[in-house]
Chains A and B, each alone.
Chain A
């Protein structure tokens, strides 16, 4: 809410800077170092899980911009990831583009699709918009499965992507996961920074204005429809970027990667982390991925020893556990983990003086 006492800003640039206090700057530096050495000091498995977290961050930032900031509910998120993924794959396979241009094309293609997805938002809101985006989801999957399109996209059995190449370097072999960790980290940081900047600029304020009160936004001269479309477009860019990065990592692209279930998972991420906060996307992705991985790990490591038969059933049961935890958090803190952490921070700011 406000800076700790003793911190003064001498210019407005200072005040809108990302890290303002010495502690924040220190945390930034230590955090960066930790992230950079993490894959070097832990087993590859952890880097792989971290890569999924980074990809989830990129994608959930996209969804958070649309749903959390601009207040437009969308159920088409995973379909937009699919558009990005397939566009990148096609650009790589048929036009021979390298990794970075290909995923960028993926992002742009998804942005275009998102622009079209967003068109109904002129007339409809809330639940109805959700249904229309759901429809868009199915339209995209219908197109992907069209007999004339499917063979080009390797549907349904998978379309193998080329190795990731950056300039003359090809990333493959033993250190593939390690290099990919840094690539995904870089893309996640890029997404976080650009999204944060967007959200603290006039565009982000226009989005929140539309979410909070469309009429009031209109009288401030904000072209509501245009900004809704912009929100869809920007959101979809991140979705496409994430989808493309994801398929480059798993090397194969199948429609099954982007089922409706994935959209629901991302909605869970932003609800859990915190709507309308970039930090919410980061924390939400972290928690959900660790959670799903952790539940499986615990069942197979501990339960399997006791009874292999039972563990197979618990595997299915983990979705229930997963759901229960989300419900508990949302019931106790509707604004997500971010709000929770802020409360904790406030508490310690005042500690030991209770109010």
Chain B
């Protein structure tokens, strides 16, 4: 009988847990004071991108905190709702349905392209502006996805395109420049490679393609083929470990070419540290600055860092979180007193020439085009530091919208 009693206790505990769950929101419905603005972040605090996301969410939280300290947006406090979506669509669906019922959300932000694919429709039906940290392009087309605002950080494809354009413009060789694309087929690269490849061909590059899968331990054959091809530019679209492998192998086989690498989930500093001397002289393209880069806008970030968590080490991820929060707050400011999803979206689309004090080029949105900017900075790694070598403005052509 003792055993049965012990088991009953377990059941009782379970029942209490279940009971708390079922009754909690019903008995104490969340207060909805009119003076607060609710913004939901279903973020990947666990899962493969937990590290970058954690730093990113710090940037967001710090910026919102400062805005609230200075009296909020139009006198309203912003309430940040943050939950872990585990980098999974199904969890995001649960979180979103719950928030939607509990709060009057003015904006919803997630991380992960596949999450956007899964829940865009649901958020759009709820008529709430929706953003995501992903820089993958597919949802940037505002005509198809009017409620979605991609992260104001340019698309991965644009990052590469800017470099290719810049390189082509200064190319003086007697023949057409040769590009070798090194990609993997399982993670992010499939979203990027087709757009980059077709753009390079349009620009007049000769293109070859090599695959280095995630988890590969050798890239020797690929690098030898690229060397034999006499490539002038190698565009790698790989995670850090594989990027390191490719760079090391390229050095071993004596491949002389310019490398443009993937800002894998914009985790610059650790990536460059990891690559060490291998990263020297390689390029990145991005419309934002790394942590600590000397621009006027960085002062606020350093101040927040000093005040809130002086011991933490920050990365570009923090800067990108900060920038996306700036854009969100600007949209909320422009929305005024009408915080309905429709109005916030309209306000968001009315942002033009938004000055981030050097953190990014001026940002702007239109109802037809949710790309924040097509101006990209080219970064070169010299002495372990990021040096801005050029600014490239790509035409806002429809051909590459959503690619």
Contact = CB atoms under 8 A, between A and B. Distances in A.
Report if A and B associate in a common complex: yes
Given A300-B83, A315-B46, A250 B94 contact: no
Given A157-B114, A157-B190, A344-B4, A45 B101 contact: yes
Q: Is the interface of B mostly helix, strand, loop or mixed?
A: helix
Interface in A36-63: 43-46, 48-49, 52
B117 A160 contact: yes
A174 B118 contact: no
B10 A173 contact: no
B54 interface: yes
B46 A177 contact: no
B318 to A, nearest CB: 15
B7 A256 contact: no
B14 to A, nearest CB: 7
A308 B60 CA distance: 13
Nearest to B61: A308
Interface stretch (A209-217, A235-243, A327-335): A327-335
Size bracket of the B interface: 35 or more
A222 interface: no
Q: Is the interface of A mostly helix, strand, loop or mixed?
A: helix
A164 B85 CA distance: 25
B87 to A, nearest CB: 8
A252 B118 contact: yes
Given A287-B14, A294-B21, A145 B186 contact: yes
Contact of A48 (B1, B7, B83, B94): B94
Contacts of A337: 11
B313 interface: no
A349 B88 CA distance: 45
Interface string B351-363: 0000000000000
B185 A252 contact: no
Interface of A: 43-46, 48-49, 52, 145, 147, 150-151, 155-158, 160, 172-174, 176-177, 246, 249-252, 254, 256-257, 287, 290-291, 293-294, 296-298, 300-301, 304, 308, 312, 315-316, 325, 328-329, 332-333, 337, 340, 343-344, 347, 354
15 contacts: A43-B98, A44-B100, A48-B94, A52-B94, A147-B211, A157-B138, A158-B113, A294-B17, A294-B20, A294-B21, A297-B24, A329-B10, A332-B10, A347-B4, A354-B1
Interface of B: 1, 3-4, 6-8, 10-11, 14, 17-18, 20-22, 24-25, 45-46, 50, 54, 61, 82-84, 87-91, 93-94, 97-98, 100-101, 113-114, 117-119, 121-122, 125, 136, 138, 185-187, 190-191, 211
